[in-house]
Amino acid sequence: MVTTVTGQGTAAPAGTSPPRAAALPPPQLDVRGVTLQYKTKEHLVTATYRVDFQVYKSDRYVLLGPSGCGKSTLLKAVGGYMMPEEGEIHLNGKPVTRPGPDRMMVFQEFDQLLPWKTVKENVMFPMLAARKGSARAVAAKAMHYIEKVNLTKFADHHPHLLSGGMKQRVAIARAMAMEPEVLLMDEPYAALDALTRRKMQDELLQLWDDTHFTVLFVTHSIAEAIKCGSRILLLSPHPGQVKAELASVPRTEQDSAAAKELETRIHDMLFSDVVEDTEVHHG
Ligand code: ADP
Ligand code: MG
């Protein structure tokens, strides 16, 4: 049994899980008892086992765990690409049965853009497909989000002219321009160099300060989870089960002893039965 903690904005001490106030609104995303399996001709792979978590509006909710613990599979299920074997997923009270524009995904790979379209056209593409407004309104919104990820100068460039970090910015702008209920991010910075990665994390937090979007973020990096997350769900190794849910440290205290302590605590919880490392192995 995992105790839930209060969402963004409450000053819970790092790593503690006080009970939620009684008057809290229902969760935006509700994942209950979710078992996910892959069935092939020869094998049955159980990726996650009876996973529970609730994401509230404006949470920066992080799924953290070792490679193969089912983080990407959970995200796919929330995205509606995969149905649970057991359990249920609800978004705003409605069961998730298929993909939809209310859940936009950003992947780790740099090749998620359409190479024959410009940056601006890439950002416009899902909005046009979902009939989000007139071509003019869609173009204006695209430019608005392109500016937010600092790529205005590159709006008319094609993806092959951009660095990996810039391509990720486009993918983030494209997803955010859809203004989804929940933004799904599957290790979006894992393939970037350390400096770019840090810059992109700061940028994401700045974007969050602007719009307070709800994000479900997958990572195998403890440091990234603490920096980017408001709440962190720790998953056990394969098949993924919930080990604990923790509140991260406030943004202003990222360099504090409390942050270090939380990092050590998460490390110990994740590796209580496995190898020593500063990061969970790549997933
Ligand atoms: P993570 O993202 O945490 O590294 P995944 O969700 O990718 O983990 O995978 C969870 C488990 O499911 C792993 O054991 C993996 O081998 C298995 N798996 C993932 N995708 C497939 C697939 N398409 N077919 C069969 N097994 C899969
Ligand atoms: Mg993965």
Q: Are residues 95 and 229 in the same domain?
A: yes
What number of residues does the chain have? 283
Tell me the pairing of strands 60-64 and 215-219: parallel
Same structural domain for residues 98 and 221?
A: yes
Which tokens belong to 69? 């613990």
**What are the residues facing 94 on neighbouring strands?**
91
**First vs last C-alpha separation in the chain:** 26
Pairing of strands 103-106, 182-186: parallel
Tokens matching residue 88: 């249920």
Query: What pLDDT, on a 0 to 100 scale, did the predictor assign at position 21?
Result: 55
Instruction: Answer whether 270's CB lies under 8 Å from 225's CB.
Output: no
Ligand 1 within 6 A of CB of 47: yes
CB atoms under 10 Å from CB of 77, counted, come to: 23
Total domains in the fold of the chain:
2
Q: In terms of domains, do 214 and 170 share one?
A: no
Q: How far is the CA of 90 from the centre of ligand 1 (A)?
A: 22
**Which pLDDT score is estimated for 278?**
46
**What's 193's DSSP letter?**
-
Cα dist. 84→38, 40, 95, 188 in Å? Answer: 10, 16, 11, 24
Q: pLDDT tens per residue, the chain (283 residues)?
A: 444 444 444 444 555 555 555 677 899 999 999 999 999 899 999 999 999 999 999 999 999 999 999 999 999 999 999 999 999 999 999 999 999 999 999 999 989 999 999 999 999 999 999 999 999 999 999 999 999 999 999 999 999 999 999 999 999 999 999 999 999 999 999 999 999 999 999 999 999 999 999 999 999 999 999 999 999 999 999 899 999 999 999 888 888 899 999 999 999 998 876 544 445 555 4
Domain assignment present for residue 107? The answer is no
Q: Which residues contact 75 (CB under 8 A, 6 or more apart)?
A: 63, 105, 184, 186, 216, 218
Ligand number nearest CA of 49 is 1
- Cα of 230 to ligand 2 centre, how many Å? 20
Are 266 and 225 in contact by the 8 Å Cβ rule? The answer is yes
Verify whether ligand 1 is closer than 6 Å to residue 45 (CB atom): yes
Amino acid present at 267: H
Which ligand is nearest the CA of 81, by number?
Answer: 1
**Which residue has the CA at smallest separation from atom 7 of ligand 1?**
72
Task: Say if ligand 1 is within 6 A of residue 70 CB.
Answer: yes
Same domain, 215 and 235: yes
Q: φ, ψ for residue 273 (rounded to 5)?
A: -125, 10
**CA distance linking residue 184 with residue 105, whole number of Å:** 5
Q: Does 266 lie in the same domain as 198?
A: yes
Closest ligand 1 atom, CA of 238? 14
Whole-angstrom distance, CA of residue 55 vs CA of residue 269: 22
Please tell me whether residues 203 and 117 are part of one structural domain: no
Protein residue whose Cα sits closest to atom 27 of ligand 1 = 38
- End position of a domain, from candidates 122, 146, 179: 179
Domain residues for the domain of 132 are 112-179
Residue for token pair 């416009």? 124
Q: Are residues 274 and 218 in the same domain?
A: yes
Residue 156 shares a structural domain with residue 33: no
Q: Determine whether 138 is exposed, middle or buried from the number of CB atoms within 10 Å of its CB (0-12, 13-18, 19+).
A: buried
| Residue 283 Cβ < 6 Å to ligand 1 | yes
- Ligand 1 atom at minimal distance to the Cα of residue 48: 10
